[in-house]
Amino acid sequence: MNGWIQEFQRQYQVVVYRYEERPKGFWLETSKGTYFLYPVPLAFRGKDNYVASMYEQMNSRLLLPIPVDQEGRIIAQLGEQGGLVTYWPYTEDERIDYALLGHSLASFHLTSAKRIKRFDNKYRGWNTWPRDWKKRVSLLPNFERVAANRAERNEADDFDQFFLENFKYLYHSGLSALAYLQDSNYPLVCKETKKYGRLTYVHFGPDQFVSVQGRFYFADMLSWIDDMRVRDIGQWIKADVRENGWDPRRVYPFLSAYHQRSPLLPEEFAIMYAMFLLPGRMIKKYEALYYQPSSIIGDNPEVELFREETEILTPYSAYRELKRNDVLLREFPGFVEDAFGVVIPTVTF
């Protein structure tokens, strides 16, 4: 992003007073208010038409406004780097209202189901989970061989040791996730829930929205994908537990408010549990670590995205995530039965 500030000022006819780098991009204070700039990852190149189509069809106050550059594009070319720009509030709420988030997310999904009529199959997640999960889980034995070879040559680092110590757990958890997903009537959920939500996020977490004076606005449009609503719900719970540990005082208001706004099917709670079983973030970390870019064609765009997503993950934080996820797996079935009257099986290791 070297030299991008001058190009940004020219494209949007503003003067940048200051900026802050954040996990998903740059917050900028300018002569015309505050903006957020999302650099476009290699994996999302060419996604501007999709984002523009979804944004136009949604036509919702739930979304942060997107300005266009001087050429009328929503993704500006800032030197060699593309960037998606949104207006951004100057101040943000310090605390998350979990109930309001659940209600707002349900409204976002319902709006997408009602208004969006045209989708691009390139950015589609429906009916792909079993295939994609199986592909990811099958990588784990290969990663074990890589880590073992490095250990034999006395080249193992802390991540290699962590993987060797936890391989059996991760592999068993991945296989359990696949079996659980199959037993959760995934194809039926795909069929039955399209009328309740179409637009979701690749990974829904705190970086995909902003809260201002008790109102939520959704952002990070580059991460949109056509998939079922439970993807966002399960990803949010995983992200919250990863950051704060299991606490039903946060999870219940979120799920309850969502459920009141847009009732969930019993099978969707089971699919959430399958999501909790899948060690997807760990698999992505090791795929990024062990993948060797080609000297001819360069990095794999998907692996580049994994590398960015898991850059801050350390062996210590990975171990903490596993322990917190263990609590989630142990507590969630009883919580769901008590709070929503839905019975789902518990998987123990």
Query: Is residue 61 located within the same domain as residue 133?
Result: no
Q: What percent of the chain has pLDDT over 70?
A: 96
Question: What is the SS3 assignment for 98?
Answer: helix
- 345 assigned to some structural domain: no
- 308 assigned to some structural domain: yes
Per-residue confidence (pLDDT) for residue 23, from 0 to 100: 85
CATH number at residue 146: 3.90.1200.10
Q: Which two tokens stand for residue 65?
A: 């406004």
User: Residue 288's domain spans which residues?
Assistant: 98-340
pTM for the model stands at: 0.94
State yes or no: pLDDT of 1 exceeds 70: no
Q: What's the distance, CA 123 to chain centroid?
A: 14
Q: What's the distance, CA 128 to chain centroid?
A: 16
Give the end of a domain, one of 62, 87, 112.
87
Q: Can you tell me which residue has the tokens 């990863």?
A: 242
The mean pLDDT of the chain is 92
Query: Is residue 118 located within the same domain as residue 265?
Result: yes
Each residue's pLDDT tens digit, 105-147: 999 999 999 999 988 888 999 999 999 999 999 999 999 999 9
Give the end of a domain, one of 87, 115, 137.
87
Query: Is residue 195 located within the same domain as residue 316?
Result: yes
Query: Is residue 206 located within the same domain as residue 292?
Result: yes
Question: What is the SS3 assignment for 311?
Answer: coil
* Spatial contact of 16 and 3, defined as CB atoms under 8 Å apart: no
Give the end of a domain, one of 87, 106, 126.
87
CATH number at residue 25: 3.30.200.20
Q: Nearest 5 degrees, angle CA 234-CA 223-CA 15?
A: 130
Is residue 168 within a helix (H) or strand (E), and if so which, with residue range? helix 158-183
Round to whole Å and give the CA distance between 272 and 209. 21
Query: Is residue 210 located within the same domain as residue 322?
Result: yes
Query: Is residue 236 located within the same domain as residue 140?
Result: yes
Query: Is residue 82 located within the same domain as residue 102?
Result: no
